[in-house]
Structure 1
């Protein structure tokens, strides 16, 4: 390597090292994508698989970690916002509509949030949602009423879910469309 290039290479390495925390912080701003592929397996929620140390909970920020290697640590409780991490309140009113799950509506970059009172329109208090509760298709809202096994549901149910978690349909008829998301238990 020519002598004049050495300072340039060192300068480039130094800047890269200094910018690494900024890049890491920007990656943490991305939303989890569920389900995601890791080592050829589909994950519907955050996992500890493959993390070091093993207790670190994480998710992919693209549909396939195997292809893109993009990830972030998962938050297990509400965080950020302007209400000091207060828990989500469901349903809550935003733009005169009722929300029964977290939403990314109106937030850029895409991050899921919730109101911490019954009405964001009135109180303007909010937190970011825990990543651990955003399993399923978290970009869509529950549809009420919905039909499941020829029965009408007006709210979330645990019927038919082996884990016992409450869920809702993303369309009016789950029996036909088979699209659902887990409900938050706030």
Structure 2
């Protein structure tokens, strides 16, 4: 069965207040783990073009393990059909992606802390060049309406009672924009 990952993302304004609110809601976060991601896009796609319906690749390294993921946005960039697998050789996977018509876009480096709130996964990320973010996500059947699920996730985040700024861009877009502004 095809799975869909649906998420909402927030720029964290007051991290200490967020940590207290999460603890008050029974969410305990893991220790930070470094994730290094290389994002890939089809050679014909470029930033500024719509992402809906376009497959994007990611090659992630976490503690020596390499994960290859393909995400295809459905309702929006935060509701994606997703397939993921462990790969033994990141360099060979990179070469395979090039041969399949993908090109590397940006690298995303982050320290990620994870937790759970019921069936939802939470990630508190410190993203290099762009700062702290909270992601709330769930995996559903491919035909689940992404916008409705995002509304539920957003209601939970709003219920935390802390200042968060909802963003609709993915990390690759945010990192690319930050890098453009720093040059």
TM-score (normalised: structure 1): 0.25
Q: Which has the higher strand share?
A: 2
TM-score (normalised: structure 2): 0.26
Which has the higher relative contact order, 1 or 2, with Cα contacts under 8 A spaced 6 or more apart?
Answer: 2
Between Structure 1 and Structure 2, whose CA radius of gyration is higher? 1
